A and B are shown apart, each in its own frame.
Chain A
Amino acid sequence: MSYTAKDPEKRPLLALVDQADPPDVATYERGGGFRGLRRVLSGLSPAEVIDEVTKSKLRGRGGAGFSTGMKWSFVPKESQKERKKYIVANGDEMEPGTFKDRLLVEGNPLQLVEGMIISAYAIQASHGVIFLRGEYHLGLERLKIAVEQAKAAGFLGENILGSGFDFELIVHPSGGRYICGEETALLTALEGRRANPRTKPPFPQVSGLWGAPTVVNNIETFSNIPHIMANGIDWYLGLSACGDGGTKLYGVSGRAKRPGVYELPLGTRMGILLEECAGGMQDGYRLRAFLPGGASTAFLGAEHADIVLDYPTPEKAGSRLGTGLAILLDDRASPIGMIRNLEHFFAQESCGWCTPCRDGLPWVEKLLIDIEEGRGGPDDILRLQDACRLIGPMGRTFCAHAPGAIAPLESGLRLFREDFERAVQGGGAVVPSAQERAA
Chain B
Amino acid sequence: MLTAERTASGAEMPDRIADDLVHTITEMGHHDVLPRGACIEALRMVQERYGWICDRHLKQVADILGMSLADIDGVATYFNLLFRKPVGKNVIMLCDSVSCWVMGVDGVREKLCRKLGVSMGQTTQDGEFTLLPIVCLGHCDHAPAMMIGKDLYGPVRPEDIDAIIDERRGAAS
- Which A residues fall within an 8 A CB radius of B? 93-99, 101-102, 133-138, 172-178, 189-195, 210, 251-255, 259-261, 291, 295, 325, 327-330, 333, 337-338, 341-342, 344-345, 348-349, 351
Contacts and interface: CB of A to CB of B under 8 A. Distances in A.
A97 B134 contact: no
13 contacts: A96-B140, A97-B98, A134-B81, A175-B44, A175-B78, A175-B82, A191-B36, A191-B37, A253-B99, A254-B99, A325-B140, A341-B101, A345-B136
B99 to A, nearest CB: 4
B150 A195 contact: no
Contact of A135 (B43, B67, B81): B81
A336 B36 CA distance: 43
Nearest to B137: A135
A97 B97 contact: yes
B41 interface: yes
B75 interface: yes
Interface of B: 32-34, 36-41, 43-44, 65, 67, 74-75, 78-82, 93, 96-99, 101-103, 134-143, 147, 150
Contact of B41 (A95, A138, A172, A345): A172
A327 B99 contact: yes
B98 A173 contact: no
Nearest to A136: B138
Closest 7 CB pairs of A and B: A175-B79, A176-B81, A253-B140, A192-B36, A96-B97, A253-B99, A96-B136
A134 to B, nearest CB: 4
Contact of A341 (B32, B98, B142, B147): B98
Contacts of A259: 140-143
B78 A195 contact: yes
Nearest to A333: B102
B155 to A, nearest CB: 9
Contacts of A178: 135
Contacts of B43: 175
Given A137-B150, A173-B41, A261 B98 contact: no
Contacts of A210: 33-34, 37
A295 B98 contact: yes
B102 A94 contact: no
B135 A189 contact: no
Nearest to A332: B102
A259 B74 CA distance: 39
Contacts of B75: 175, 192-194
A173 B97 contact: no
A97 B34 contact: no
Contacts of A174: 40, 79, 81
Nearest to A173: B44
Contacts of A261: 141
Contact of A97 (B65, B74, B79, B136): B136
Contacts of A338: 98, 101-102
Nearest to B65: A192
A309 B134 CA distance: 29
A308 to B, nearest CB: 23
Contacts of B139: 99, 102
Contacts of B78: 175, 177, 194-195, 351
